[in-house]
Amino acid sequence: MLYIDDTFYPQAALQQQFAHFAGIAQLQQPGRHIAYCLPDTFVGLALCLYAREQQLSVLPIHASTPRALAERYAQKAGCELLFYGELNTAISLETAPDNSAAGLIQLSSGTTGASKCIKRSWSDIAVEISSYCRHFPEAQHMTPLVACPVTHSYGLICGVLVALQRGLTPRIITNINPKFLLKHLLASDNPLLYTSPAMLSALLPFWPKGSQLHAAMISGSLMSAPAFAQVRPQIRHLFQQYGCSEVGCISLNRDTQSATAIGTVLPHLQVSAGASGSAAEEICVSQADTAAVIRTQDLGYFSCTAQGEPLLHFVARQDDTIIVAGMNVYPQDVEDVVLAHPQVRDAVLFKVPDVQAGQRACLQFCSDSALSADALRRWCCQHLADWQVPHHLEAVAQIPRLANGKINRKQLAASWLALQAGQTAQAAG
């Protein structure tokens, strides 16, 4: 059925897990909302598949998330139960009833930097999977290796559920050591690596010289032009996909020759965007059978492929989400934890570019006492998932705000980078 790192799990192992779930009374109520945060990747995946079969709604939460934060996410998603750490006991949560169709719940970014919860019905996801398979037939003859979190829709749906729909055996890689991933890629026939641009860039320096990685799919963020120019010759088939939590995969590039070219639109969707790079507009999406329009808050435009197909290009993100090595960091989630520190009176999180991780989170904070950056970092490590902990922390006297009380994160990032550049130049002089 599937591998997780070096361990193979046959279909019988899934059925054994299903039998175990069938003995848990709290999972026998169709329509119920549950969340899980489990260290055992296979058990978590099995629970997700069971939820789909039993018409439960499920929120997967990354295993490294601290319990208090996982509870907050689960409650925000309207989940009545949270399985944290193990299945023997479930944490009961007080939430309002939700009678909408059962489905997969995902955390996504809001316009203010706070995370929001989005639920997609299992029937909508089935339509996406079918459309994805038709739109991307090349993958039918490749071995999928999923080196990205399967608690996120990219790894879960496009990496795992699509592979199972095709009758393939996906290999899920949870060991992020590039040499471990390299070993499995070299041992696979026609491997197709699902990963982030940052992970791909970290892997390729280890790749044997004179040969190419058979295929890779990237998503989540764009490579810089220099990074793309370095990576592209090392991959025989480079694919890139673009999507959002509300509708899943929107477009897929089956021959990526530009970092900003995010592909042709999947057949079950309708998309509008700008007519050229100089006239980019917000990318808006609707499904063929609905009138609802999803505004992605991303700017893009269409050009034409050599075959005359509309090719979608990404220009810029309109939100403040920070993507650290393929993982989303939502500023308000981090700021809430920082502001809970008794010595912190104000804080702001913003993003700066980083060669290794794609982006890094920077935190500026104000304290009325002598709170060191190291002490605050230790606080963050206790209350946040590892990828959410700010890379740079800086104590400041005051955080500048606009007249309406909001913060211009882009301006903060620009000022911070200028200061760093000035200090580097001064040290060199």
pLDDT tens digit string along 345-385?
989 999 998 888 889 999 999 998 889 999 999 999 999 99
pLDDT of residue 143: 98
The rounded mean pLDDT for the chain is: 91
pLDDT of residue 317: 66
Q: Is the pLDDT of residue 423 over 90?
A: no
Which residues of 247-319 form beta strands (DSSP E)? Answer: 248-253, 261-265, 269-272, 281-287, 294-304, 310-317
Q: Sign of torsion, CA 42 326 108 86? A: positive
Q: Is the pLDDT of residue 402 over 90?
A: no
Burial class (CB in 10 A: 0-12, 13-18, 19+), 398: exposed
Residue 123 belongs to what H/E stretch?
helix 122-135
Please state which CATH number belongs to domain 123-317: 3.40.50.12780
Q: Which of 275, 228, 280 is nearest to 256 (CA)?
A: 228
pLDDT of residue 112: 47
Query: Domain 2-99: which CATH class?
Result: alpha beta
Taking domain 322-428, whether its CATH number is 3.30.300.30 is answered by yes
pLDDT of residue 405: 61
Tally of CA atoms within 13 A in the half-sphere of 99 that contains its CB = 0
pLDDT tens, residue by residue, 214-271: 999 999 878 877 788 889 999 999 999 999 989 999 999 999 999 999 999 999 999 9
The proportion of the chain whose per-residue pLDDT surpasses 90, expressed as a percent, equals 71
pLDDT of residue 37: 97
Domain boundaries, the chain: 2-99, 123-317, 322-428
What is the rounded distance in angstroms from the CA atom of residue 192 to the CA atom of residue 190? Answer: 7
pLDDT tens, residue by residue, 217-227: 999 878 877 78
